[in-house]
Structures are given as C-alpha cells and as structure tokens.
Amino acid sequence: MLKTTLVLLALLLPACPALALAQITGNRVGDLEVVQPWSMELPPNAPTVAAYFVIRNNGKTADTLTGVESPVAGSAQFHEHISQDGLMKMQQVQSVEIPAGGSVVFAPMAYHVMLLDLKDKSKLVDGQAFPLTLHFETSGDINVDVPVLKQAPEPIDTTQHNH
C-alpha cells in the first residue's frame, strides 16, 4: 500500500533533472545516499585522519565518486587497501564506482577517505564532527558531517533499505 502511494507520488512529480539536482538535502542527492559517516579519534600529533561511511545507490544507473574535500584538511584522497607481496598496504585511487542498486563500504582495511595536511584539529576529537563534501560524476555533491568516535560503530547492514 505504501509502495503504491510512493509510485503514485513519483508519477505526479514533474520529471525535471535540473530541479532534482538542486534538491540536495542532508546526506543524499538524487539516488545516492551516504550513511553512517564516522572517523576514529587519533593522537593529536597524527599526520593524517581517515573518514568512513557507506554509499548507497538506489538508482538504476551507476555513478562514480570522483573527489572529496574538507575544510579541516589541505587535501583529501581516496585510498584502498591491497595485499601485495603478503603485506597489506594502502594506495590512492582516483575514483570509486558506485554500482546501480548497490553500495560501497568505506571502512578500516577497505576504501577510506584520507585527510592530509590537517588544518583544524579541534574538530578531530571524540564528540566533535567535521564537514566532508563528496563529489559524484553524475549526481553532484553530497555534504556530510562526520562524527569523530573513539571506537568503530556497529557496521550497518548494507543489504537493508530504509524505505
């Protein structure tokens, strides 16, 4: 019943991609949403900080994460962990594809955002949060507030949809 109502509502909305692009609310843009952003509190002298989250694509076409920035850092990169010669190491990737109807998990020992050249360390302590902007090739930008935690949160079920 709820689904039928939603479909009807969708049919009533004017099909206007430009307008849809402008309607950026919170942690979603278009068919993309960023859920459970977080960062681990590190010692004050840590040179870099990582940010984690899950990106869901509820749409029928893939999109690509192409860039990231934060006012707390001079630069920010996407990293992945790879196993090379029996060692785990991280390396920069230029972009990350978010498959249609799928999700990509940014987590310790997986994809993560690496913040370099840290500017404002006052927000990098437990209980604070810092802004992060993610750029997507098709959908545009998503702004998230990344809470800083002492411990990793319970991983969310990436197969679950919240509608």
Give the x/- contact pattern for Cu ion in 102-131, rule: CB under 5 A: ------------x-----------------
H-helix or E-strand spanning residue 5? helix 2-12
Taking alpha carbons only, the member of 120, 27, 19 closest to residue 72 is 120
The CA distance from 136 to 29, in Å, is: 9
Least Cβ distance, residue 48 to Cu ion (angstroms)? 7
Least Cβ distance, residue 141 to Cu ion (angstroms)? 22
Least Cβ distance, residue 119 to Cu ion (angstroms)? 18
b/e per residue 109-121 (b: at least 16 CB within 10 A): eebbbbbeebeee
Compare residues 90 and 156 and give the one whose CB is closer to Cu ion: 90
- Residue 79 binds to Cu ion (criterion: CB under 5 A): yes
The footprint of Cu ion (CB under 5 A) covers: 79, 90, 114
